[in-house]
A and B are shown apart, each in its own frame.
Chain A
Amino acid sequence: MKTLASRYYGLVALAVVMALLPLALPNAFYYDVAIRIAINAIVVIGLNLLIGYTGQISLGHAGFFGLGAYASAILATHFNWPAPVALAVGAVATGLLAFAVARPILKLKGHYVAMATLGLGIIISIVITNEAKYTGGPDGIAVPAFSLFGLDIAGEKMWYGVVAALLVLVTWFALNLIDAPAGRALQAIHGSEIAAKVVGVDTTRFKVRAFVLSAVLASIMGSLTAHYVGFVTPGLAGFFHSIELVTMVVIGGMASVFGSIIGAALLTMLPQVLSAFEGWETVIFGAILMLTMIFLPRGLVPTLRLRLGKERT
């Protein structure tokens, strides 16, 4: 059975991999992929908390990511606010929005939650596309560098250090949470909401907290992405991005922290692999989605764990 000790081996392994990885990265392009993987992994760990552990579907999470990205972009570019402040404001604003809609949405059943979160994400992305005066419309706007106390985070090596450290930190938080009473409460909500209620869990409050937490995390990573890339476009908040994030959760493994990281890694690298098949990317992506979900419905990491577990006994 999974014990906290065995999970900590995973965390240490992750830290080691992240520390040693730069030795294997030959140039800036590879750093870029690694950075994007780390960013996605952090967002997906948060999303997995909601989908995998608490069992709530969210098909609009990119909306929160986009809110953070554009908050940072607009405040830093149009109003010259310092980057950390813009990031914080974006996170708070996203948190408030998530909090406002969470209660009514999470009271809905199954597919209706999917529809509501889908709708929210699309509304956000349409607003971003239309309010061109601030957002630059479909073309987007440029974003200045992230500056903290006069020091710019610039260049792939610095960014890699920042996001790698963040990833290890967020993974640690997530592993702790799962093994804490609050984490068990979340899983219980997924397993049987009525059972969770009768043991005293305020299920609505927990669902709302999980929703807001994952939304704020997405917003923060959106802000950082804006500064890293130096540019924001409405696609960051779009339906397809939301689907990508959910796919990372499902392929890596629902209710698995390391699954989230693996899922993010695989799906971030996929477009690079697919670009060789010019024109056929969409077809292949669709095929991969279907095949993975049909043959590995639990996702990669839980399936591997099961197989390895069986071989040991």
Chain B
Amino acid sequence: MLAAFLQYLFSGLTVGATYALAALGFSIIYNASGVINFAQGEFIMLGGMSAAVLVTAGIPLPFAILLAVGIAGLAGLLVEKLAIEPARNAEVVTLIIITIGASLFIRGLVQVFLGKDTHSLPPFGGETPIAFLGATLLPQSVWVLGITLVVVAVLGWFFGRTLLGKAMLATSHNKLAAQLVGINTRMILLLSFGLSGVLGAVGGIIVAPITYTSYDAGIMLGLKGFVAATLGGLGSGVGAIVGGLLLGIVEAMTAGYISSAYKDAMPFVLILLILFFLPRGLFGAKVTERV
């Protein structure tokens, strides 16, 4: 009983960590620009796929990871520079379509150059499952949670202590005011896309040893990351993390206790319920419109 529950909890937290990182990526970009970046899922996929391909080509794992993260970060910068910036004054629907176009573009390129096969990464350290209160925990899960914690801590330090991080926060609160105090908001936007690319890639890389990856892995991951971000309240960092972890757990519990066929539907049922009762998500800011 307990063993099964713990098993689902662990696997839920593991995949939830990826959702949390994806959700953070969504929130950072949303804060900087109000854009929902539907290409976020492809950043996750790029991280996993690039690392896998590099490792297969013979590059040692640590370097492969660094390179893969760099590639995804670069992809983020390019998407912002080439697709978002030229259209920055467009309507919401238009910007959403642009990011969807970007996601198709990236996915298509990966499909052409890297094929449709699934790839995997070797686990980071240790293959023997750890027994814990009757449940088995993969060592990779520990890596996932550990790395996610480190990333979140670094982000917390970045946004709280560094000038650049604070500038990004300022831009998200009031773009005009930020510009007036001399913050280069265009650079901030560029950076936020790059940062989201990096975050997504890390998420994709750390779970690749467990869930494998392929050219179309990004679609569902991206959508669920969006759900997680909305769940926690678009734009809230804490919300993104809580939303991601919660989503992962709910999904795992659904797969375990109800039906694995419907596990993919659960995040969307959850978000519909949440939005109906808490229109701004769990931690979203309450905004009143001034007329």
Contact = CB atoms under 8 A, between A and B. Distances in A.
A293 B108 contact: no
Contacts of A309: none
A126 B265 contact: yes
B279 A108 contact: yes
Interface centre among B93, B94, B107, B267 (most CB of A within 10 A): B93
B271 A246 contact: no
Nearest to B271: A119
A66 to B, nearest CB: 14
B93 A254 contact: yes
Contacts of B92: 57, 110-111
A51 B100 CA distance: 17
Interface residues of B, number: 48
Contacts of B101: 285-290, 293
Interface in A101-157: 101, 104-105, 107-112, 114-116, 118-120, 122-123, 126-127, 130
Interface in B98-151: 98, 100-109, 111-112
Nearest to A299: B94
Contacts of A114: 36, 96
Given A104-B276, A122-B268, A290 B93 contact: no
Contacts of A127: 265
Contact of B108 (A101, A194, A243, A285): A285
Interface string B155-183: 00000000000000000000000000000
Nearest to B103: A286
Contact of B97 (A118, A123, A194, A246): A246
A239 interface: yes
Contact of A130 (B100, B261, B269): B261
Interface stretch (B11-19, B53-61, B83-91): B83-91
Contact of A283 (B105, B227, B264, B280): B105
Nearest to B92: A110
Contacts of A119: 227, 267-269, 271-272
Nearest to B105: A286
B102 A290 contact: yes
Interface stretch (A1-9, A201-209, A274-282): A274-282
B271 to A, nearest CB: 5
A293 B104 contact: no
A275 B261 CA distance: 33
A297 interface: yes
Interface residues of A, number: 45
Contact of A115 (B105, B106, B275): B275
A153 B164 CA distance: 66
For the complex, would chain B's binding face be called helix, strand, loop or mixed by DSSP majority?
A: helix
A127 B265 CA distance: 8
Interface string A230-250: 000000000100010011001
Contacts of B90: 293, 297
Contacts of A23: none
Contact of A290 (B83, B109, B291): B83
A286 B97 contact: no
A283 B109 contact: yes
Interface string B210-235: 00000000010001001100100010
A59 to B, nearest CB: 8
A24 interface: no
27 contacts: A57-B92, A57-B96, A112-B234, A112-B275, A112-B279, A116-B271, A118-B226, A119-B269, A130-B261, A243-B100, A282-B104, A283-B105, A283-B108, A286-B101, A286-B105, A286-B107, A287-B101, A289-B97, A289-B98, A289-B101, A290-B83, A293-B90, A293-B98, A293-B101, A294-B87, A297-B87, A297-B90
A194 B288 CA distance: 13
B5 interface: no
B275 A285 contact: no
A233 to B, nearest CB: 17
B97 to A, nearest CB: 5
A105 B269 CA distance: 13
B108 A104 contact: no
B230 A115 contact: yes
Contacts of B83: 290, 294
B63 interface: no
Contact of B104 (A116, A285, A297): A285
A285 to B, nearest CB: 6
A290 B109 CA distance: 15
B226 A115 contact: yes
